[in-house]
Structure 1
């Protein structure tokens, strides 16, 4: 039985994707009308933006917010139906904490404390795990929505910030700590994981360098349902 790690807010609705406007707005058809929803995903969402496909919208928790809906996931065709690809980029950080408390971080056995949004120098990383007689374990999370030829891949757009995070992790590993990348794959059709060198060759080169420097890589699948996000297990990192 799958473990549900995150629950979506009450009142989620399914609309139909119309188009994306600029970076932060998605137009969707809901109850016969077009509504504007917020998306926090600043990537290209390459291959996901399919007019007429379902879009999962969660209601704004702040009644004063101008946009009443947030995009959680976009439907992708699969046979006669579809599957959800989760595009909310606030989810990976929350999933790290949920996995920690659920005992699903097999690679962090013995660690007893997790601090989210941990600052080191000029960088802010998603998590810092500590435990008795264990080196600090720094974790950065990335949301993965791109799959090509059954290979889940990151990034879907050039990311200088992502490359900077890898160099920070390399430094932390060289200083005697542990450093890890948690790739949160919010779609079910990837069979392995790799860097998207065809999108950002600099990031791909930095990831290979990071692995050689001792940075750990944990690609993990999550299944998006209409009631939340479920743990789906780990994928093989093809570049290992």
Structure 2
């Protein structure tokens, strides 16, 4: 992503493959992290973009980190009773983001970053995504086999009052989302407060019914 500061123009890395609808405006502010890893073409990574008077997190690696931090801190009741947390468990054709196990049993979680709000509803995805549909189908398979399966939506902006899948962007995903809920997949949309000094897990949003 093209950036400019007092030192002049430069390019920052972004791992967000969505449209970031309404966020990438000329002159908007950005929060960047800097990596000291050798060999990186672009040492800066875009963490958040400024919209009006708040930050919107766009780093798609953040949700899994937040989920793990919430598990370690005991900050989410949904994650209690699990003694281990493993990232990127494999399934045929891909990976999910997290597998937890412990006295409560086994739990598979796919994490998603949410940066779009329309009509006060936080929505995902912001671009058609076959990959996201594939994850839904795998979670449905796990739920139907008796495992606990869930979606963790990190809503990295403060203005959403509820959550729903983005029918106008990816109607196939939206339909699959509600099919997944009927199959027993859980959905946990949480507001994430984004600031220059880090992230803080906020309230859980209600789901809009189909």
Shorter-chain TM-score: which interval?
A: over 0.9
Alpha-carbon shift at residue 239 of structure 1 (Å): 2.5
| Residues 173-215 of structure 1: CA deviation (Å, up to 9, x unaligned) | 1111000000011111100000000000000000010000000
Is the 2:71–2:80 Cα contact (8 Å) retained in structure 1? no
Cα displacement (A) at 1:32: 4.5
**Corresponding residue number in structure 2 for 1:107:** 78
| 1:123 shift after superposition | 2.8
Tell me how far 1:90 sits from its aligned partner. Answer: 0.9
How far apart, CA to CA, are the structure 2 residues paired with 1:113 and 1:58? 29
Separation in 2 of the partners of 1:237 and 1:115?
27
- Report the TM-score when normalising by structure 1: 0.85
- Please, which runs of 5 or more residues in structure 1 have no aligned partner? 1-25
Structure 1: distance between partners of 2:198 and 2:9: 25
Task: Tell me which of 127, 150, 155 is aligned to 1:180.
Answer: 150
Which residue in 1 is equivalent to 2:57?
86
Contact 1:41/1:89 (CA < 8 Å) preserved in 2?
yes
Q: Are 1:169 and 2:144 counterparts?
A: no
| 2:167 is equivalent to residue 197 of structure 1 | yes
Contact residue 123 and residue 168 of structure 1 kept, 8 A: no
TM-score, with normalisation over the residues of structure 2?
0.96
3-state DSSP of counterpart to 1:211: helix
**TM-align CA RMSD:** 1.2
Is 1:235–2:200 an aligned residue pair? no
Pick aligned residue for 1:48 from 7, 11, 23 = 23
**Off by >4 Å, runs of 4+ in structure 1:** none
1:98 pairs with 2:73:
no
Query: Match of 1:49, SS?
Result: coil
Q: How many Å separate the matches in 2 of 1:108 and 1:178?
A: 11
Query: Within 2, Cα distance between the matches of 1:101 and 1:59?
Result: 25
What is the number of equivalent residue pairs in this alignment?
210
In the alignment, which of 63, 66, 88 is matched to residue 117 of structure 1?
Answer: 88
Question: Would you tell me which structure has more strand in proportion to its own residues?
Answer: 1
Residue 3 of structure 2 is matched in structure 1 by 28
Which is worse superposed, 62-71 or 40-49? 62-71
1:142 aligns with 2:146: no
Asked whether the 8 Å contact 2:66–2:201 carries over to 1, the reply is: no
Report the counterpart of residue 129 of structure 1 in structure 2.
Answer: 100
